[in-house]
C-alpha cells in the first residue's frame, strides 16, 4: 500500500542537508549560541519581509506572545479578546500573563474571528468609561488577538476599525501566517505588520520551520521594540541591572542559522502549497464538503492564503479520516475541541453552546496532506480516495 504522509520533513531536509550542516558548523565554530549576529540578521530579514521595522527573535511562538503581553503590561485585572478556535497557546498565554481570555465565535467561511460578532460583543457586553473599556465584571479590556488561522489573514480592516473605535491594542497571532497578505486599498499588507505587534512561530512543521522551537515578534514601534528586547532577556538593562521582571525568551543562533537558510525558499514553498491547494479545490468540488475560502485572492494572488493547512469540513469527518487512514493517507484534526470547552478553562465561565460555529467546526474539520514536497501523484491519490469515500 502506498503511504502518503500528512507531513514529511525529511523531504525538505535532504536537498538542503549540506548547506544547513555547513551553517550549523559555522555556529559551532563560533561557539556563540544565544542571540548574536545570526539572530540579528534573521530578525532584520523577517521584519523587512513582513513590512515591519523591527524583529525580535524568541524561543518559541508561545514565548513571543507572552513577551508581547508582558512588554505591554497586560496582566492581572485585564481581559484580552480572542478566538476559541485556535491552538491552545493563543489563550493559555493570556492566562499565564494573569489576564482573562474573552472568546468571540468564528466566521463559518474563514474560520477566523467574526467581525460582526466582535462588534456586537463590544456594544452589548462591554462598558466604555473614562478608564477605557471594561467587562461587566470590571476587567479592563486591553487587547484583541486575532489568529490568522491555517495561513489566511483575519479581516484586518474590520478588526482594525473596531480596535481604533474601542481603543483596543491589536496583536496579531500570525504563528501560521508568515508571508500571508491582506489587501488595504491598493496596497498589500503582510500578516503581523497591521497590529501594534504580531508574532510568528517557527515550530518545525510551520511553512518556515526551525530544528526545534523558535518564534519572532514584529513591530514598527521603536519604544515597544526596545521594551521587547529588554523583557526578552530578564528585563535586564544594562547587564545584571533589572528594570522590570522579564523572562528568558531568547532565540538561539543554531535556530537562526537554519531559519536563514530555509528562508530563501519560503516564497517558493508557500507558492507550491498554494498550487497544491488549487488542485484540492478543483478535485474536491461537488462532493458537498466545505473547502477553504480565498477572500483576498483577487487583490493578493497566491499570497492571499499561504495554506499552512488545507482544512476541509464534513459531518462525516471521523468516517472519512478512518477510511483515509486505512488506505495509508495521513490526516490531522485542527482542532478537535474549542478552547472554551477545554477542561483547564472551565473556570472562565463558558459553556458548550456558547460558540456554535467553533463547536460545529471542531466536529467537522479535517486537515489533508499539504507540504511543498508532496508529489502530484500522491495528491491525485488523496483526491481519488476522498472521491471514492463519498461515492460509497
Ligand atoms: C495559532 C498558533 N498560535 C501560537 C502558536 C505557538 O507557537 P509555538 O509552537 O512556536 O510556541 C502556534 C503553534 O503551533 C499556533 O499554531
pLDDT single digits (tens) 186-237: 899 999 999 999 999 999 999 999 999 999 999 999 999 999 999 999 999 9
Measured in angstroms, how far is the CA atom of residue 201 from the centroid of ligand 1?
A: 5
Element (H, E) at 389: helix 376-391
Check pLDDT > 90 for residue 246: yes
213 CB under 6 A from ligand 1?
Answer: yes
Report the residue among 87, 205, 358 best suited for mutation to probe ligand 1: largest number of ligand atoms under 8 A from its CB: 87
Q: How confident is the model at residue 388 (pLDDT cuts 50, 70, 90)?
A: very high
The pLDDT assigned to 2 comes to: 86
For a pLDDT cut of 90, what percent of the chain falls above it? 97
- Res. 267: pLDDT tops 90: yes
Q: Which atom belonging to ligand 1 lies closest to the Cα atom of 60?
A: 10
Across residues 357-368, what is the average pLDDT?
A: 98
Alpha helices in 244-345 (DSSP H): 253-263, 266-283, 297-300, 317-326
Report pLDDT for 1. Answer: 82
Out of 175, 180, 210, 251, give the residue to mutate to test ligand 1, the one with the largest number of ligand atoms within 8 Å of its CB: 175
Residue 58 has pLDDT above 90, yes or no: yes
Q: Mean pLDDT, to the nearest integer, of 260-269?
A: 98
Q: How far is CA 196 from CA 68, 154, 180, in A?
A: 10, 15, 17
Which residue's C-alpha comes closest to atom 7 of ligand 1?
A: 61
Q: Cα of 182 to ligand 1 centre, how many Å?
A: 20
Q: What is the structure's pLDDT at 129? A: 87
Whether the CB of 43 sits within 6 Å of ligand 1: no
Specify the pLDDT at position 146: 98
Radius of gyration of the chain (CA): 21
Mean pLDDT of 91-112: 98
Ligand 1 center from residue 93 Cα (angstroms): 11
Tell me how many degrees the CA angle 217-222-224 measures, rounded to the nearest 5. 55
Among 197, 201, 213, 367, the mutation site with the greatest number of ligand 1 atoms within 8 A of its Cβ is 201
Report residue 76's pLDDT band, with 50, 70 and 90 as the boundaries. Answer: very high
> What structural domains does the chain harbor?
9-178+188-263 (3.40.640.10), 266-391 (3.90.1150.10)
Instruction: Please state, as a whole number, how many other Cβ atoms lie within 10 Å of the Cβ of residue 231.
Output: 25
Residues 6+ apart with CB under 8 A from 76: 98, 99
Q: Is 61 in the pocket of ligand 1 (CB under 6 A)?
A: yes
> pLDDT of 14-49, one tens digit each?
999 999 999 999 999 999 999 999 999 999 999 999
pLDDT, residue 320, reads: 98
With a 6 Å cutoff on the Cβ, whether 371 touches ligand 1 is no
Beta carbons of 82 and 146 less than 8 angstroms apart: yes
- Beta carbon of 162 within 6 Å of any ligand 1 atom: no
Q: Is the CB of 189 under 6 A from ligand 1?
A: no
* CB-ligand 1 contact for 147 (6 Å cutoff): yes
pLDDT at position 381 is 97
| Mean pLDDT to the nearest integer, 336-357 | 98
User: 388 C-alpha to center of ligand 1: Å?
Assistant: 34
Which of these, 384, 373, 361, 338, lies nearest to 101 by C-alpha position? 338
Task: Give the model confidence (pLDDT) of 111-150 as tens digits.
Answer: 999 999 999 999 999 999 888 999 999 999 999 999 999 9
With cell 536563514, the residue in question is 260
pLDDT at position 85 over 90: yes
**What's the mean pLDDT when you consider all of the chain?**
97
Task: Provide the pLDDT for residue 130.
Answer: 86
Q: Is residue 93 packed enough to be buried (19+ CB in 10 Å), middle (13-18) or exposed (0-12)?
A: buried
Helices (H), 56-135: 61-71, 89-96, 115-125
**Residues 286-337: pLDDT tens digits?**
999 999 999 999 999 999 999 999 999 999 999 999 999 999 999 999 999 9
- CA 308 to ligand 1: nearest atom: 16
Amino acid at each position: 500500500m502506498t503511504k502518503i504522509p500528512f507531513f514529511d520533513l525529511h523531504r525538505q531536509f535532504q536537498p538542503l542537508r549540506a548547506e544547513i550542516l555547513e551553517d550549523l558548523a559555522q555556529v559551532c565554530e563560533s561557539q556563540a549560541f544565544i542571540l548574536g549576529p545570526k539572530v540579528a540578521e534573521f530578525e532584520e530579514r523577517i521584519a523587512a519581509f513582513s513590512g515591519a521595522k523591527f524583529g525580535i527573535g524568541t524561543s518559541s511562538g508561545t514565548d513571543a506572545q507572552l513577551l508581547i503581553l508582558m512588554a505591554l503590561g497586560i496582566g492581572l485585572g485585564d481581559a484580552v479578546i480572542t478566538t476559541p478556535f485556535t491552538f491552545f497557546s493563543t489563550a493559555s498565554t493570556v492566562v499565564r500573563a494573569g489576564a482573562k481570555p474573552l472568546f468571540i465565535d468564528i466566521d463559518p467561511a474563514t474560520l477566523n474571528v467574526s467581525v460582526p460578532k466582535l462588534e456586537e460583543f463590544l456594544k452589548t457586553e462591554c462598558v466604555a468609561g473614562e478608564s477605557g473599556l471594561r467587562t461587566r465584571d470590571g476587567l479592563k479590556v486591553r487587547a484583541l488577538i486575532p489568529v490568522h488561522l491555517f495561513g489566511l489573514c483575519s479581516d484586518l480592516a474590520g478588526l482594525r476599525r473596531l480596535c481604533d473605535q474601542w481603543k483596543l491594542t491589536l496583536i496579531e497571532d500570525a504563528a501560521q501566517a508568515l508571508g500571508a497578505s491582506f489587501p488595504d486599498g491598493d496596497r498589500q499588507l503582510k500578516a503581523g505588520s497591521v497590529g501594534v505587534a504580531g508574532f510568528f512561530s517557527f515550530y518545525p512543521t510551520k511553512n518556515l520551520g526551525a530544528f526545534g522551537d523558535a518564534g519572532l515578534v514584529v513591530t514598527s514601534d521603536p519604544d515597544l521594540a526596545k521594551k521587547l528586547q529588554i523583557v526578552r532577556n530578564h528585563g535586564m538593562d544594562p547587564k545584571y541591572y533589572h528594570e522590570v521582571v522579564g523572562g528568558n525568551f531568547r532565540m538561539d543562533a543554531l535556530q537562526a542559522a537554519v531559519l536563514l537558510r530555509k528562508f530563501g525558499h519560503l516564497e517558493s514553498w508557500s507558492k507550491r502549497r498554494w498550487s497544491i491547494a488549487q488542485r484540492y479545490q478543483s478535485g474536491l468540488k461537488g462532493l458537498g464538503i466545505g473547502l477553504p475560502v480565498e477572500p483576498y485572492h483577487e487583490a493578493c494572488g497566491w499570497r492571499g492564503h499561504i495554506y499552512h493547512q488545507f482544512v476541509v469540513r464534513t459531518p462525516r469527518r471521523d468516517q472519512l479520516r478512518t477510511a483515509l487512514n486505512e488506505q495509508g493517507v495521513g490526516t490531522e484534526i485542527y482542532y478537535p475541541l474549542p478552547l472554551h470547552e477545554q477542561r483547564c478553562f472551565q473556570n472562565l465561565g463558558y459553556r458548550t453552546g456558547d460558540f456554535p460555529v467553533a463547536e460545529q467546526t471542531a466536529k467537522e474539520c479535517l486537515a489533508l496532506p499539504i507540504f511543498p514536497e508532496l508529489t502530484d501523484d500522491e495528491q491525485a491519490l488523496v483526491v481519488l480516495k476522498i472521491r471514492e469515500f463519498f461515492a460509497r
